[in-house]
Amino acid sequence: MHSNISEVSELPAAPPPFTLRLHHWVTTVDHKRLGVLYVLYALVFLVVGGIEASIMRLQLIRPHNDFVSPQVFNRMFTMHGTTMIFFMAMPMLFGFANYLVPLMVGARDMAFPRLNAFSFWMTALGGLLLYFSFLGGNGLYGAGGAPDVGWFAYAPLTAKTFSVGHSTDFWILSLLVSGIGSIGFAINTIATILCMRCPGMTMGKMPLFAWMNLVMAGLVILAVSPLSAAQIMLLIDRYLGGHFFDTQAGGSAVIWMHFFWVFGHPEVYVLVLPAFGFASEIIPVFSRKAIFGYSVMVMATVAIGFISMSVWAHHMFTVGMSPGANTFFVISTMAIAVPTGIKIFNWLATMWGGKIHLAAPMLFCIAFLFQFLIAGLTGITLAAAPFDWQLGNSYYVVAHFHYVIVGGIVFTIFGAFYYWFPKVTGKMYHETLAKLHFWLFLIGFHLTFDFMHVPGLLGMPRRIYTYEPGRGWDLWNLIVTIGVFFQAAGILAFVANLVWSWLRGKVAGNDPWDAWTLEWSTSSPPPVYNYAVVPTVLSRRPLWDLKHPEDPDWRYE
C-alpha cells in the first residue's frame, strides 16, 4: 500500500490523500476493512433506529398524547423494526464475523474476497433503498412517506389496495437486495470456515466463535431464501397481477405469515448465535479458565440450529391453527430451551472456580447472562400456547424480544466492541468511560424493558399510537420512556469512548487481555495479510500452549 501511495503522489494531478484513502476503503476486498465498514454502517443505523424508538416512546409517555400523528407513529415502528433487524443487528454481527473469523481460524482472508465486498455493498444499498422511501414513497410532494405496514408486513396490508404509493415497494426491494448480501456473506463464511483453517485446526479445535458463526451462516441461507421468495411473490402481487397474498382476489394472508416466520424465527438465532460466540470467547478469558464443556457447547449450537427451523408458527398461535398444530409448536418451541439452558450452565461453570476480572467486556457478558436468562424464561411463558393467546401481540411480547435482542445480543455486542477494540485499532479504550456506558445502559435497559412487561399483562396491545387512560398502563409507560434517556446517555458515552480512544487512546499492544485465540498473536491492528507465517495449532487455545509450555492444552483434548 505504501508503494501505491508513493506512485500515485508522483503523478502531476495527484488526488488529495483523503480521496485516495476513501478510494481504498470503497474498493477494498480486505476482510478486516470490510468488517469495519459493516460495523460502522451498523452503528449509523443503531443511532437512526434509536431515534425512531425515542419518537415512539415520547408519543407514548402519557395517554392521548399528540406528539406525532398516527401515520408518523406507524412509520416509526415499521422503520425501527426493519432497521434494527436488517441494518443494525445483522450487519453488526456480520462485520464482527468478517473481521474475526479469518483471524481466528488462521487464514489470510475470507474464501471469496470479492464476493465479500459485493455482499457488503448489497447490504449497504439495501439500507439506502429503505431510507429512500422517505423521499420516494409518495414522491417529493408526499415526502416522508416511509412504509407503515409493520416490520413483518402482514398481508393484505401490503396489497395495492391498502398500501398505495411506493413505500412498501422500497421496503420489499431493500430486504430483497440486502438478502442477496446476507446470503453472499453466509456462503463466504461457510467456505472460509470449512476450507481455510490453518494446519492443525480440526473442526473440533476451532474457537467456539467460529462454530457459532458456521451454524449462523447455515441458518442465514435457510432463512433468508424463503424471505426473498416471499418478497418476490409480493412484488408479483403488486405489479404483475399475482394473487399470492391478495385476499380480495382469493389469496392467503396466512401463507405470508408462514413465509415470514419461517424466516423470522431462525433469524432470531442468526442474531443470537454470534452473540453466544462473543460470550464464549470473552467469558473464558476474563474468568481465566478454558470454556467448560466445549463439545457440548458445539452440540448445543448445532441442536439450536436444527430446532430453530421447526418453531416458526409459535408466532401464529392466535391465527386459528388446529389444536394439533398448536400443540406441536408448543413442544418444538419449548425443546429449544434445553440446548439454550445447557449453554447458560456451561458459561456459569466456566466462571465457577475462576478468577473473574470485571473489566467492561466481562461486565457486559455478565449482564447478558442475567438478561438472557430472563428473556429465555419469558420465552417459555410465551411458548405455552394458551398463555400466548393472552400475551401475543401485547407489550409483554415487545418486552420479551427486546430482552433477547437488546439485553442479550446488544449487550454482548458492546462487550465485543470493548474486547476487540484494542485489536482493531491498536489503541486501548477508556475503561472508566466504558463502565459509565455500562451502568447508564444497564439502568436504562432495565427501566425500559422490565417495566414494559407490565402493561402487556394488563392488556395493552403493541403498535398503538395512543391509549386510553384508566387501564393501569399510564405509570408503566412513563417509566419505560424515562429509561430511554438513560439508554441514550449510555450510547453517547459509548460513541465518545470509541472516538476518543481511537484518536487518543493508549497503545494497546498485541495481547492486552492475555488471551488464547490466534488473533491475539498478530500485531494490533493486524497487517493486511494477517499472519506473516501461517500458524500451526495443536489445541483449542494455541496461545495458552505457547504461554504454558509446561501444561499445554493438547495433553487433555
Partner 1 sequence: MRRSLEFVRRICILSVCAAMPVLAQARVDSRLPTNIFAPASTPAEAIFGLSIFVLLTVAGIFIVVFALLAYAVVRFRSRPGDDHSEPAQIYGSDRVELSWTVIPVLIVITLFLASARVIASVQGAVPPPGALEVTVIGHQYWWEYRYPELHIVTANELHVPVSDRAHPTPTFLTLLSADTDHSFWVPRLAGKTDLIPNHPNHTWIDPYEPGVFLGQCAQYCGTQHAKMLLRVYVQPPAEFERWVHEQEQPAQSAAPSTGQRVFESTACVNCHTVSGTPAKGRFGPDLTHLMSRDTIAAGAAPNTPSMLRLWIRNPDAIKPGSKMPAMGLSDQDVEAVASYLETLR
Q: Name the residue nearer to partner 1 (CB basis): 511 or 557.
A: 557
Scan residues 290-309 and list those touching partner 1 (CB under 8 A). Answer: 290, 292-296
Q: Report the residue number, 196 or 337, with the smaller CB distance to partner 1.
A: 337
Residue of 190, 366, 416, 442 interacting with partner 1 (CB under 8 A): 366
CA–CA distance, 80 with 286 (Å, rounded to integer): 34
For position 16 contacting partner 1 by CB under 8 A, the verdict is no
Residue 542 makes contact with partner 1 by CB under 8 A: no
CB burial of 461-499 (b: ≥16 within 10 Å; e: otherwise) equals ebeebebeeeeebbebbebbbebbebbbbbbebbeebbe
Interacting positions 409-468 with partner 1 (CB under 8 A):
457-468
Q: Let me know the angle formed at the C-alpha of 553 by 549 and 554, rounded to the nearest 5 degrees.
A: 95
Min separation Cβ 387 and partner 1, Å:
5
548 binds partner 1 (CB under 8 A): yes
10 Å Cβ neighbour count for 253? 16
Contacts to partner 1 from residues 471-490, by CB under 8 A: 471-472
Which are the contacts of 11, defined by CB distance < 8 A and separation ≥ 6? none
**Under the criterion CB under 8 A, does residue 373 sit at the interface with partner 1?**
yes
Contacts to partner 1 from residues 253-282, by CB under 8 A = 253-254
Q: How far is the CB of 211 from partner 1 (least distance, A)?
A: 15
Q: Answer yes or no whether residue 495 interacts with partner 1 by CB under 8 A.
A: no
User: b/e for 436-451, b at 16 or more Cβ within 10 A?
Assistant: bbbebbbebbebbbbb
Which uninterrupted H or E stretch holds 177? helix 167-195
Using CB under 8 A, which of 16, 199, 470, 549 touches partner 1? 470
- Biggest alpha carbon distance in the chain? 77
Shortest Å, Cβ 469 to partner 1: 11
Q: Give residues 135-154 in contact with partner 1 (rule: CB under 8 A).
A: 148, 150, 154
Rounded Cα–Cα distance for residues 503 and 464 (Å):
44
Q: Cis peptide before 156, with omega less than 30 degrees from 0? A: yes
Question: Judged by CB under 8 A, which of 231, 301, 378, 477 binds partner 1?
Answer: 378
Distance CA 71, CA 147 (A): 10
Range 21-80, binding partner 1 (CB under 8 A): 69-71, 74
- Minimal distance in Å, beta carbon 331 to partner 1? 5
Q: Which of residues 314-333 bind partner 1 (CB under 8 A)?
A: 318-320, 322-323, 326-327, 330-331
Q: Which of residues 343-362 bind partner 1 (CB under 8 A)?
A: 344-346, 348-349, 351-358
Site for partner 1 in 155-174 (CB under 8 A): 155-157, 162
Closest residue by Cα to residue 213 from 302, 127, 293: 302
Residue 202 binds partner 1 (CB under 8 A):
no
Given the complex with partner 1, which of 6 and 295 has the nearer CB atom?
A: 295
Cβ proximity to partner 1: between 99 and 476 the closer is: 476
Helix (H) or strand (E) holding 128: helix 113-136
557 lies in the site for partner 1, by CB under 8 A: yes
Residue 502 and residue 428 in contact, taking contact as beta carbons nearer than 8 Å? no
